[in-house]
Amino acid sequence: MTRLPGAFEHHWSWQLRAACRTTDTDLFFHPSGERGTPHDEREQAAVAVCARCPVRSECRRYALAAREPYGVWGGLTEDERRALLTRRPTTGRRSTTDRRPPVHRAA
């Protein structure tokens, strides 16, 4: 290799504008064994920080592309991201099992 690749700052510089930069990361990642009301309240507080974040969509795109398994990213919880990633993609076409023969109408 004769040249090093260019800078990749544009891939992560959005993080410098994130609302969570001044927030304790413990808010976004649950401690081991956290369940019930404490878990739900912490997660809701994290999502509220994301709701006012100017780079929420960039963060969400990153988390989905990287398949981040833990924490709240872009306003999405672990379960919400998992559900989005496991959902079947829709192509706008019906499956072959849904196809019906064409209807021919008399002119």
53 among annotated binding-site residues: yes
101 among annotated binding-site residues: no
Per the rule left: phi > 0, alpha: psi between -120 and 50, beta: everything else, 63 is: alpha
20 among annotated binding-site residues: yes
Q: Is the distance from CB of 42 to CB of 60 less than 8 angstroms?
A: no
Binding-site positions read 20, 50, 53, 59
Binding-site positions for [4Fe-4S] cluster read 20, 50, 53, 59
